[in-house]
Chain A
Amino acid sequence: MTGTAEQDFLQLVNQNQGIIRKVCHLYGRNDADKEDLYQEVIIQLWRAFGSFRGEAKFSTWMYRIALNTAISNLRKQSRKVTLSFPEFIPKEEADTEEEKLKEEKLKEMYAAISRLTEVEKAIVMLYLEDKSYEEMEEILGISNGTLRVKMNRIKDKLRTLTKAEYHGA
């Protein structure tokens, strides 16, 4: 590919890096795994960039590639799983009781999400990204109706999981 194509690609990736980071955060089992996945997503995006015709939005195209790479890449099961939290959760001590409680609950929610299946994680990720069910369908290939049913089930599952986390299960 030409140097201009490379520049265009780098610019688009730079603008949308958050998408890749979030996918890696949800699917990576530990920091090394997340970096490997990040690298792999970039390589896959670059390889496919020549065929990007702009029929779909760049972000939709990017979600497809990032999720396809994350879900279908067989990573070794034996790798150590370390649960880390995204950057919006303050690492330092929370100041007030209210903040502490909020932080605790966020951790519970994040721990619960990490226990979802790969497909459920993809749906949650797109839901958190505020994607419409139509866009989710375009990315995942699961029908709108099925996605709605699945989303309701996931919400119930997360409620149960966060309760279990709270009770130390």
Chain B
Amino acid sequence: MELDQLKEMWGDVATQKNSTSGEELQNLLRKKSKSPIAKMKRNLLLELIVVLVLYVATIAYYFIAYSGGMQWNAWLLLVIAVFFLFYYQRKYKLLNSMECVTCEVKSNLKTQLVTLEKYVRFYLLAGTALFPFAMIATGLIVFFYSPDITKDVADPSGKFVWIFTGILVLFSAVMTVPVYFINKWYVRKLYGQHVEKLKTIVEEMNED
């Protein structure tokens, strides 16, 4: 059979059998989108809420429960929280510009591919860069929080603090390397298949 013969019959495709009633359609309008981008936005919002709750609670705790040097922990966490806010804002902005369903299919897919590649790069680099900061902050908080160590901190030369900080920075720097590769693997697992699929489709649409 030729395609043209199918064309003659195509107009007769019955849609009545599985047509949706007005009421069912109305109910569909209230449902949440299950598109990958909508899911990514929802996950991002959830992540942001969890991070905000944890950071705000910890920062408040340090400000209320301690005074003097221990309050530096709160300031440190506040700086990291601000970085996180920039991180989420950038990701959200990229997700918002990722699709244009009303655009021509080719331009929408191109936009999606370019933005998704930017998103993946940002996810990988920012995720990796945040790791040493978070690690150093956690290390310092544990250090100052421990009553045994606090005695040594009182050492007027302050030598122990610097040795500890030095080791912490070095350890964080070394650990950032495997974290980069783990992040890379994870990001590929999350988005690799979709990026490849989009690339193939866009290439096919560009072919003459």
User: Contact residues of A with B, CB < 8 Å?
Assistant: 6, 9-10, 13-14, 17-18, 21-22, 25, 36, 38-40, 42-44, 46-48, 51-52, 61, 64-65, 67-69, 71-74, 77, 86-88, 102, 105-106, 108-110, 117-119, 122, 124, 127-130, 138-142, 145-146, 149, 154-155, 158-159, 162
Contacts and interface: CB of A to CB of B under 8 A. Distances in A.
A74 B101 CA distance: 15
Interface residues of B, number: 48
B4 to A, nearest CB: 9
A127 B8 CA distance: 11
B147 interface: no
B55 to A, nearest CB: 32
Given A61-B102, A102-B1, A108-B1, 8 more contacts: A42-B25, A44-B35, A46-B29, A48-B102, A64-B103, A72-B109, A109-B1, A127-B3
Interface of B: 1-3, 5-7, 9-15, 17-20, 22, 25-26, 28-29, 31-36, 99, 101-109, 112, 193-194, 197-198, 201, 204-205, 207-208
B130 to A, nearest CB: 27
B28 A68 contact: no
A134 B101 CA distance: 20
B26 A122 contact: no
A68 B3 contact: no
A43 B25 contact: no
Given A17-B19, A87-B17, A140 B31 contact: no
Contacts of A117: 201, 204
15 contacts: A6-B29, A9-B29, A17-B20, A38-B20, A40-B33, A52-B102, A68-B108, A72-B99, A105-B1, A117-B201, A141-B106, A141-B205, A142-B205, A149-B208, A154-B3
Contacts of B7: 127-128, 130
Given A140-B104, A141-B106, A128 B204 contact: no
A74 B105 contact: no
Q: Which among B12, B33, B103 has the greatest number of chain A C-beta atoms within 10 A? A: B33
Contact of A43 (B9, B26, B33, B99): B33
A74 B112 CA distance: 12
A13 B25 contact: yes
Contacts of A130: 7, 11
Contacts of B17: 87
A140 B205 contact: yes
B208 A146 contact: yes
A127 B107 CA distance: 21
